[in-house]
Amino acid sequence: MRLGMFMMPLHPPHRLAFETYAEDLEKVVTADRLGFDEVWVGEHFSATTEPVVNAMMFLAAAIPVTKTIKLGTGVVNLPNHNPIIVAAEAAQFDHLAKGRFLFGIGPGGLASDFEVFNVQDPAEREHRMLEAYDVIRYIWDHDPPYDYEGRFYKVKITENIIPEMGIGYMGKPYQKGGPEVGLSVMSPFSGSAKRAAIKNWSPISANFVPQYIVASHWQKYLEGCAEAGIDAQGKRWRVSRNIVIADSDAEAEDLALDPKGSIYYYFEYVWRALVGAKFTIAMKPDPNVPDGDVTVEDIIRSLVLHGTRETVLEKLRTFRAAVGPFETLLLATMDGEGENGVRELKTMRELKEFVLPNLDRAGAHV
């Protein structure tokens, strides 16, 4: 099994942006040093608690200070962008990273972003995302003249082309065929998981969804593979989880449930955001329980894998057996202010040095 990180990133509103940027960059450097395989970084435009507005811009700072870790956008919310610009920036980033680039895309997930970009209709966002990706592929797969006209986007360079000067030509990625594409997946029985299979993309299951939803993602991925006539392989599937490893099970639970800790802050924040968006089904451990009866403590106990390294190993085995054969585990990272950073570093080390090696030795590798 491969090990990576998923960074929202999410920080309390009292923290200064330049401090959190430095903290998150150092976390990427640490993950590279520990031997993590990849990191995915999210982006949003209209929340100071989620201060990264351009994942590629942030990850560019990690290129010269890391060696092997792959750098992924987690994700570029395509309806919020001009796809011509995204195609050019992603191709450039792939060259700067010399192929250490993973291209995560999605329709977006923050209500205030939907409002500011006037993309509040879910069906339209989905169509915009798919067409935006078609535009990106069109640019990467063709030389001029360019003449593409879709429902939302238009690409045209037919007159100002000077081949011997390279004018009128748009850049291609470093990786032949383009970088691997990841698609964010969070809804129960998400059609996005099926679409990922059909389009040969990699589904990325969110960390804040319960076990039954993660399992439904594999079921939909299988449907897509069957429709596309391809073999279903867990190596294309990434699953993100919150994990807390401590010296005792009791200590780990105390850390996970600490009202002043970053885990508690994260789940309280996401739950309130989902309540506001009327989409609590994505997080509730039991979909039949009324929203008013759900507590943050209930959510944490259900969704966070916590305990000693031996306990987390067994919980991860059980979880993987229940949901399906994902081959990449993404540790969801939290705010690292104060003791939170020390706690998270211990979890990172234990996952890399003990949990995953023993998981593979037990025959869990698919």
The burial of 269, by beta-carbon neighbours within 10 Å (0-12 exposed, 13-18 middle, 19 or more buried), is given as: buried
How many other CB atoms sit within 10 Å of the CB of residue 190?
Answer: 24
Q: What are phi and psi of 88, to 5 degrees?
A: -70, -45
Q: What is the dihedral of CA 232, 365, 41, 106, to 10 degrees?
A: 10
Q: Which two tokens stand for residue 126?
A: 């989905």
What was the pLDDT predicted at 363?
53
Query: Residue range 97-122: average pLDDT?
Result: 96
pLDDT at 362 exceeding the cut of 70: no
Distance in angstroms (rounded) separating the CA atoms of residues 29 and 62: 7
pLDDT at 147 exceeding the cut of 80: yes
What was the pLDDT predicted at 361?
75
Mean pLDDT for the chain overall:
96
User: pLDDT digit string (tens) for 265-292?
Assistant: 999 999 999 998 889 999 999 999 999 9
What was the pLDDT predicted at 365?
42
DSSP 143-184: PSSEEEE-SS-EEEESSS-BGGGTBT-----SSTT--EEEEE
SS3 category, 127 = helix
Nearest 5°: the CA angle 133, 208, 355 is 100
SS3 string, 225-265, reads HHHHCCCCCHHHCEEEECEEECCCHHHHHHHHHCCCCHHHH
- Name beta bridge partners: 306: 244
What was the pLDDT predicted at 364?
47
SS3 category, 268 = helix
Which region among 11-15, 42-46, 232-236, 349-353 has the lowest average model confidence (pLDDT)? Answer: 232-236
Long-range own/partner contacts, residues 113-117 (CB < 8 A, 24 or more apart): 113/44, 113/45, 113/46, 113/77, 113/80, 115/46, 116/45, 116/46, 117/45, 117/79, 117/80
Per-residue pLDDT band at 76 (split at 50, 70, 90): very high
Share of the chain above pLDDT 90, in %: 96
What was the pLDDT predicted at 92?
98
Report all structural domains of the chain as residue ranges with CATH numbers, in order of start.
2-247+305-361 (3.20.20.30)
What was the pLDDT predicted at 116?
98
Q: Which two tokens stand for residue 330?
A: 């993404």
What was the pLDDT predicted at 366?
39
- For residues 277 and 108, the answer to whether their CB atoms sit within 8 Å is no
Nearest 5°: the CA angle 56, 8, 199 is 65
SS3 string, 15-26, reads CCHHHHHHHHHH
Per-residue pLDDT band at 233 (split at 50, 70, 90): confident
User: pLDDT digit string (tens) for 308-330?
Assistant: 999 999 999 999 999 999 999 99
Cis ω for the linkage preceding 75 (within 30 of 0):
yes
User: pLDDT digit string (tens) for 6-25?
Assistant: 999 999 999 999 999 999 99
Distance in angstroms (rounded) separating the CA atoms of residues 139 and 146: 8
User: pLDDT digit string (tens) for 153-177?
Assistant: 999 999 999 999 999 999 999 999 9
